[in-house]
């Protein structure tokens, strides 16, 4: 089983940050976060918890959404400069990914760009503790840190066993301030992780358990969490769903949807969750016939059970319908045109080439995809 070393869940659990850091033996810690968490005073609350546990603490709050290698290197410079004994990632996937990368950059020299790929990190990092504030990426339990290289607009993961967090504190109270549209798009990212892991060629009985539980929870709670963000039960269920989606992803991988979504982030700055939410109904339609039983089950988890006498290949298509309806209810953009970031037909070749370059998710996909197929899917998602 692959996931974070320890996970604690519950309203208020983030107040244990100080205790957790001092438990690692670290004398100093860097909190890696973003401006929002600074502005909301959450960064200071966590810093105070660490300080009062007798650990010296600094805050780096310059992480941008869809973070870059350059920002990560800047944060690493701060961590190296203070000889950080631990790193705390506070925020959504963006802050957590930078924090995970920084933790290994304290002990491995050079730029984060050197380690983008699989298994390139040489030494373990300093202890890392994740405190998510979105319910989406599952970064709090995965071995990946996704960073954009500004030079060529390519989004690439540092994938290494040394990136698994040592501890994650899952506090639903921290997600209450998340705006409705961020709740919606990050929740759809979690759903994409679960569905893609469930239909991945690498799915196993172990990853299935987590993927199924994530899909059931998201089908039931994402609308409520997004439209009534103060509902702490919905927030808690979504936080668990994202966690389970992350465990499923770490063990079975993602598939073509994530590969196709990466160029939208790398080339046009589209938020990761928005890109996945937009593409997942199209990819589900594309894949359904290659693995009908899985898509029939997934549709049922999302509230579209197969009707009596309905052929499997027909019922499988309802998974795509369920995803599109959910996205629509949440008010997420439905087409590439709706994104209004200047994507036109003439970009499809380059986007498809970049998507095909995201090799492992493409290899996990239940239906074989060519570059031409990628162009076709982008075209379907256009209008
Ligand atoms: N490591 C992994 O396994 C993994 C998996 C999927 C995605 N990712 C990466 O994660 C990044 C996206 O992370 P994300 O979707 O969580 O979004 P994010 O971290 O970029 O946050 C999105 C926005 O929401 C704000 N925000 C976050 N929490 C908030 C809160 N509680 N209250 C108010 N505002 C809040 C942030 O400040 C930001 O402006 C992408 O770079 C993506 O590639 C990583
Ligand atoms: Fe994702």
Place of tokens 């953009």: 333
Ligand 1 and 138: CB distance under 6 A: yes
d(CA 81, CA 73): 12
Instruction: Give CA separation, 298 vs 124, 143, 290, 295, 312, in Å.
Output: 37, 25, 14, 5, 12
Amino acid 233: pLDDT: 98
**C-alpha torsion 366→367→370→372, nearest 10:** -130
Task: Give the Cα separation of 183 and 134 in Å (integer).
Answer: 7
Two tokens at 223?
């609308």
> Within 10 Å of residue 331's Cβ, how many Cβ atoms?
12
- Quick one: pLDDT at residue 150? 86
Q: Give the length of the chain.
A: 383
User: 64 by DSSP, 3-state: which?
Assistant: coil
The predicted pLDDT at position 1 comes to 55
Prediction pTM value: 0.96
Q: Give me the tens of pLDDT residue by residue for the chain, a chain 383 residues long.
A: 567 689 999 999 999 999 999 999 999 999 999 999 999 999 999 999 999 999 999 999 999 999 999 999 999 999 999 999 999 999 999 999 999 999 999 999 999 999 999 999 999 999 999 999 999 999 999 999 999 998 887 788 999 999 999 999 999 999 999 999 999 999 999 999 999 999 999 999 999 999 999 999 999 999 999 999 999 999 999 999 999 999 999 999 999 999 999 999 999 999 999 999 999 999 999 999 999 999 999 999 999 999 999 999 999 999 999 999 999 999 999 999 999 999 999 999 999 999 999 889 999 999 999 999 999 999 999 98
Strands 28-32 and 117-118, how do they pair? unpaired
Ligand nearest to the CA of 254: 2
pLDDT reported for residue 2: 67
How crowded is residue 305: how many other Cβ atoms within 10 Å of its Cβ? 14
Residue to substitute in 67, 134, 143 for testing ligand 1 pocket (most ligand atoms within 8 angstroms of CB): 134
Q: Which residue has the tokens 């076709």?
A: 376
Bridge-based pairing state of the strands 167-170 and 128-132 = parallel
Distance from Cα 292 to the centre of ligand 1, integer Å: 32
Query: Could you tell me the strand order of the sheet in which 117-118 lies?
Result: 117-118, 154-159, 144-149
Q: Which of 182, 187, 230, 239 to mutate to test the pocket of ligand 1 (most atoms within 8 A of CB)?
A: 182
Rounded Cα distance, 77 and 75, in Å? 5
């Amino acid at each position: 089983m692959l996931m974070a070393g320890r996970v604690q869940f519950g309203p208020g659990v983030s107040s244990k940050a100080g205790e957790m850091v001092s438990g690692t033996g670290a004398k100093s810690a860097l909190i890696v976060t973003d401006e929002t968490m600074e502005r909301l005073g959450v960064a200071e609350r966590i810093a105070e918890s660490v300080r009062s546990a007798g650990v010296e603490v600094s805050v780096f709050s310059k992480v941008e959404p869809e973070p870059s290698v350059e920002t990560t290197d800047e944060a690493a410079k701060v961590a190296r400069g203070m000889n950080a004994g631990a790193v705390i990632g506070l925020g959504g996937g963006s802050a957590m990914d930078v924090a995970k990368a920084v933790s290994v950059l304290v002990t491995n020299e050079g730029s984060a760009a050197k380690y983008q790929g699989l298994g390139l990190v040489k030494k373990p990092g300093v202890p890392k503790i994740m405190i998510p504030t979105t319910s989406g990426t599952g970064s709090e339990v995965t071995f990946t840190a996704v960073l954009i290289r500004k030079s060529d607009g390519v989004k690439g993961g540092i994938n290494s066993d040394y990136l698994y967090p040592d501890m994650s504190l899952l506090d639903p109270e921290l997600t209450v301030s998340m705006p409705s549209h961020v709740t919606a798009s990050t929740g759809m990212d979690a759903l994409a992780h679960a569905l893609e892991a469930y239909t991945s060629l690498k799915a196993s009985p172990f990853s299935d358990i987590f993927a199924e539980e994530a899909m059931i929870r998201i089908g039931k709670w994402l609308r409520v969490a997004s439209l009534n963000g103060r509902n702490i039960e919905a927030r808690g269920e979504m936080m668990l769903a994202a966690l389970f989606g992350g465990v499923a992803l770490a063990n079975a991988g993602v598939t073509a949807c994530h590969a196709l979504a990466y160029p939208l982030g790398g080339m046009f700055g589209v938020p990761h969750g928005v890109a996945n939410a937009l593409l997942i109904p199209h990819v589900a339609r594309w894949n359904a016939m290659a693995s009908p039983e899985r898509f029939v089950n997934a549709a049922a988890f999302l509230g579209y059970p197969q009707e009596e006498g309905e052929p499997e290949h027909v019922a499988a298509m309802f998974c795509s319908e369920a995803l599109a309806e959910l996205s629509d209810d949440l008010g997420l953009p439905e087409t590439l045109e709706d994104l209004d970031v200047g994507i036109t037909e003439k970009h499809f070749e380059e986007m498809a080439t970049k998507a095909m370059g995201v090799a492992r998710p493409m290899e996990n996909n239940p239906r074989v995809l060519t570059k031409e197929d990628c162009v076709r899917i982008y075209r379907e998602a256009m209008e």
